[in-house]
Amino acid sequence: MTETSAERGAPAIRTHPKAKAAIRAGVLAYFVDQFDIYLPIIALAPASAYFQSTGVSAGTAALLNAFVFTSTLIARPIGAAIFGHFADKQGRRHTTLIAVAGFGITTALIAALPGYQTVGIAASALLIALRFVAGIFLGGEYTTAVPLAMEWSPRRHRGIVSGTITATSPFAYGLVAAITLILLNVMPSADVHSAYAQWGWRIPFVIGALLAVVLFRAYRREVEEPATARTQTGSPLVLLFKGEHRRAMLQVFVLMTGTWLATNIAVSLLPSLLKSKVGLTSKQVTFTMMIAEIVVTVMYLVVATLSQRIGRRPFYIGYGLAMAIVGSSCYALIQHMRGSGLFAVIVVTAVILVFTICTFAPIAAYLTERFPANIRASGYGVGYSLALIIPAFYAFYLDGLQSFMSATLAPVVLLVIAGLLISIGGFAGPETKNVDMGHTV
């Protein structure tokens, strides 16, 4: 479907069943992806001892937990490159079905894993390996599903469609946190022999696998392939790193590196700081992050609409600067809020997330607009995923910074760097909100 036909159907977003089905499936696809990515951070964290020796040191335990999360992130660019290739050459829908089936099966296998007491160190090895495989399929799923949804979207609605798709990320975080909180109240995780450590953590993973089944059914029965161009000769990945597209990839890489660095500092590191620096209990941390993510879910829609009004380029320039100033200042403030009321901590946490992870609100629109139709899936997937790798090792950067500055200041500095990278990336790219999504090269 070219942009012209999408414009004719723009009231098509309300009445055209093909457009509605594709957008609805894209929203669900991104939600399922984000639900899965947060499982090891939230649901598995209280049961990490299940996969480790009782005598393991705190440092080794932290390293193993980091590998569980990082293995998925490292695998996602691989999945984006593989599935993006086939999506650009053979079509989005069929490729999405394969990716969804793959991570659904993998997530179900994780839910059935034995622990350290049964298979020893192989328990951690199997968990990390399956998360790596899941990362490949997840990288493929959003590489194909998001461009498919955006290609069906009318031009003037691409901002709000993008915000609706990406808003499922904080919603997924909040939902996983809520499920985990309920389970921990029903079955406290006291030690490796507790009910939660033995089998309670499996419930969210089973839910993730079932969501994959629902998503597979939606794409199989309801979604149709958009009529945009496909790569006829050569490799989409090769085309992506040649000529003018190489510059686009570099610009997107800079912007997304800042985006993922900010995300890691805000989503992965902040919960532990709320516990160690602010003095919240594990349940209070989960509750705080859950409420803050609900606020951010609403703000995604506001921010995405703003990007449609003022343009993607000025949005990213301004948002990056706001992150470097407001986001980093609030991050410094919250580390000195020990003894403050829970309400105040929740408010500051919400402000931090609004000025760090809301970068993602227009990202589905921006990255798909940034690349022509016949290499769009590869451009979106690789551009979105390749920049994951450098920020994934944020813990090492923090250690390096802490060798010559305080542990309180180090994450603040990383947030400033992240904001500047986003502003520079936005400045280096063109305005995209009015591009023709049917354009090819």
Number of structural domains in the chain: 1
Closest among 179, 169, 138, 137 to 42, alpha carbons compared: 179
CA distance 238 to 36: 30
CB count within 10 Å of CB 432 equals 18
Return all residues near 270 (Cβ < 8 A) that are at least 6 apart.
Answer: 289, 331, 334, 349, 352
Q: Taking a C-beta distance cutoff of 8 angstroms, is the pair 375, 86 a contact?
A: no
In this prediction, residues 295-307 reach a mean pLDDT of 94
Range of the domain at 274: 3-225+236-428
User: Residue 21: which pLDDT band, with cuts at 50, 70 and 90?
Assistant: confident
- Residue 9's pLDDT is what? 36
CB count within 10 Å of CB 343 equals 10
pLDDT for residue 349 is more than 70: yes
- Residue 1's pLDDT is what? 41
Which of 140-149, 343-352, 410-419 is least confident?
140-149
- Residue 177's pLDDT is what? 85
Per-residue pLDDT tens over the stretch 198-225: 889 999 999 999 999 999 999 998 888 7
- The answer to whether residue 435 sits within a structural domain is no
- The answer to whether residue 400 sits within a structural domain is yes
Token digits of residue 268: 């992965």
- Residue 67's pLDDT is what? 77
- Residue 231's pLDDT is what? 67
- Residue 237's pLDDT is what? 82
CA distance 5 to 81: 29
Per-residue pLDDT tens over the stretch 117-172: 888 889 889 999 999 999 999 988 889 888 888 988 888 889 999 999 999 988 88
Instruction: Return the biggest CA–CA distance within the chain.
Output: 65
- The answer to whether residue 230 sits within a structural domain is no
User: Residue 99: which pLDDT band, with cuts at 50, 70 and 90?
Assistant: very high
In this prediction, residues 348-360 reach a mean pLDDT of 95
> Dihedral angle at the C-alpha atoms of 423, 424, 427, 429, nearest 10 degrees?
-120
CATH code (residue 154): 1.20.1250.20
In this prediction, residues 59-77 reach a mean pLDDT of 77
- Residue 394's pLDDT is what? 87
Per-residue pLDDT tens over the stretch 391-407: 988 888 988 898 888 88
Token digits of residue 387: 């920049």
- Residue 47's pLDDT is what? 84
The DSSP string of 342-373 is HHHHHHHHHHHHHTTGGGGTTHHHHHHHHS-G
pLDDT for residue 11 is more than 70: no
- The answer to whether residue 60 sits within a structural domain is yes
In this prediction, residues 232-245 reach a mean pLDDT of 78
Q: Which residue has the higher pLDDT, 420 or 223?
A: 420
- How high is the mean pLDDT of the chain? 86
CA distance 193 to 237: 48
Q: Which residue has the higher pLDDT, 73 or 15?
A: 73
- Residue 395's pLDDT is what? 82
Which of 71-75, 297-301, 397-401 is least confident?
71-75
- The answer to whether residue 187 sits within a structural domain is yes
- The answer to whether residue 258 sits within a structural domain is yes
pLDDT for residue 252 is more than 60: yes
Per-residue pLDDT tens over the stretch 318-344: 999 999 999 999 999 999 998 888 999
| Alpha-carbon Rg for the chain in angstroms | 21
Residue 194 DSSP code: S
- The answer to whether residue 437 sits within a structural domain is no
Closest among 251, 230, 244 to 367, alpha carbons compared: 251
Question: What percent of the chain is modeled with pLDDT above 90?
Answer: 43
CA distance 46 to 37: 16
- Residue 229's pLDDT is what? 61
- Residue 399's pLDDT is what? 84
In this prediction, residues 377-384 reach a mean pLDDT of 89
